[in-house]
Amino acid sequence: MAGIYVHIPFCRKACHYCNFHFSTSTALQNDFISALLKESALQQQYLAGSSIETIYFGGGTPSLLPKSDLVSILSALRNHYDVSPSAEITLEANPDDFSLSFAVGWRKAGFNRLSIGIQSFFEEDLRWMNRAHDALQATNCIDIARSAGFENFTIDLIYGTPGLTDEKWETNVQTAISLNIPHLSCYALTVEPGTALQKMVELKKKENVDPEKQARQFSLLMKWLVEAGYEHYEISNFAKPGFRSLHNSNYWKGVHYLGLGPSAHSFNGIERKWNIANNALYIQSILNGEIPAEKELLTTEQQLNEYIMTALRTSDGLDLDHVTTIAGYKYSALVLDSVRKYVGLGHAVVNGQRITLTPAGKLFADGIASDLFVMDNPVKSAERL
């Protein structure tokens, strides 16, 4: 089992908070499609014949592409890889790209799941983020998706923005609940380096985020969605029963995946690699038959640390038996010993060989995970044991 991620590096507008690789110019779009199709052939040995159970088109804004390009890409993937007939195939789409004819076209192209970047149902919040859609499109796109036959879809919401009161946040969440959204991904606003938002915060043109407010709104989010029947199966992800994201779940489980397109990452269990984040250089290299990627072989410690970070974010938690499989019994004993203080604080639970975070512990997930990391140095790690 494996997955494929396809990065489409074009957007209509630059959201102030976004640090993903994209361009607002589509001048290279046709050349990019040619390069992407060629890369799908060049990379076909990376997953060593694994069955492809998930395909995810992200970006950028994949819904900007015409249906003909989407069909060409999916056809190439099916030609070069063993794509399961029941594969989950997701398209990221922005509300301003929705029309019934477009959504029906996505469905006919082969997509069976949508990831919709709503972010907020409030007009003033969307303007603050510099989103391309408005509040009316944020709700209309849900009806359009369902009319086109999409039952499996998710929406993104952002909390912790300076202008988002707890009351407005509750309205956003309750709106999603009332619309019977099957899956939500909810993220705290982060002021990422190199973004327009960071520059505006530095110049005092926009207010910085308030960590206490973000923690409070995250706690409220967990309460509201769990009460509404959603599974909180990963720190930022909530699903109605049967609607978990298979693609993202496989990331968290360490399933192998191939990334296609500029800036896309790949992982095959022993190495991680990533394509250059430059559209022109990516196109030039691929059309010359070269894959413009850097790579690193993962040490045992790196593999273990990645597992700790991802597993603790999920409701399934961290499996000490799997830690033993990765690195040996001494490492699982070390992790168990390190987590005891968080059990005492009420932030973690140990049930047999499995460690999970409590709702209170989820507020500190990254810090707890980093405290359980082993040093990426064989000598120092041995000294700790």
What is the model's pLDDT at position 375? 65
Q: Is the pLDDT assigned to residue 97 strictly greater than 60? A: yes
Digit-coded pLDDT (tens) for 23-70? 999 999 999 999 999 999 999 999 988 999 999 999 999 999 999 999
**Could you say which of 1.20.1740.10, 1.10.10.2840, 1.10.10.920, 3.20.20.370 is the CATH number of the domain covering 300-384?**
1.10.10.920
What is the model's pLDDT at position 376? 54
What is the model's pLDDT at position 385? 28
What is the model's pLDDT at position 44? 94
Q: Is the pLDDT assigned to residue 199 strictly greater than 70? A: yes
pLDDT category at 374 given cuts 50, 70, 90 is: confident
Q: Which helix (H) or strand (E) holds 259?
A: strand 256-260
Based on its alpha-carbon atoms, the radius of gyration of the chain, rounded to whole angstroms, reads 21
What is the share, in percent, of the chain residues with pLDDT greater than 90?
95
- Mean pLDDT to the nearest integer, 9-32: 95
What is the model's pLDDT at position 355? 98
Lookup: tokens for 307: 């597992």
Digit-coded pLDDT (tens) for 221-246? 999 999 999 999 999 999 999 999 99
CB within 8 Å of 81: residues ≥ 6 apart? 4, 40, 44, 47, 52
State the chain's mean pLDDT as an integer: 95
- Mean pLDDT to the nearest integer, 145-161: 98
What is the model's pLDDT at position 379? 31
For the chain, give every domain's residue range: 2-251, 300-384
Q: List own/partner pairs for 285-290 with CB under 8 A and 24 or more apart.
A: 286/35, 286/36, 286/38, 286/39, 286/42, 287/31, 287/34, 287/35, 287/38, 289/38, 289/42
Q: Is the pLDDT assigned to residue 377 strictly greater than 60? A: no
CB within 8 Å of 266: residues ≥ 6 apart? 43, 46, 257, 258, 259, 272, 273, 274, 293
Q: Is the pLDDT assigned to residue 381 strictly greater than 50? A: no
Architecture of domain 2-251: Alpha-Beta Barrel (3.20)
Digit-coded pLDDT (tens) for 302-354? 999 999 999 999 999 999 999 999 999 999 999 999 999 999 999 999 999 99
Cα atoms found within 13 Å of the Cα of residue 71, Cβ hemisphere only? 10
Instruction: Report yes or no: 193 and 14 within 8 Å, Cβ to Cβ.
Output: no
What is the model's pLDDT at position 378? 39
More confident: 29 or 379: 29
Measured from the Cβ of residue 212, the count of other Cβ atoms closer than 10 Å reads 9
Q: Is the pLDDT assigned to residue 189 strictly greater than 80? A: yes
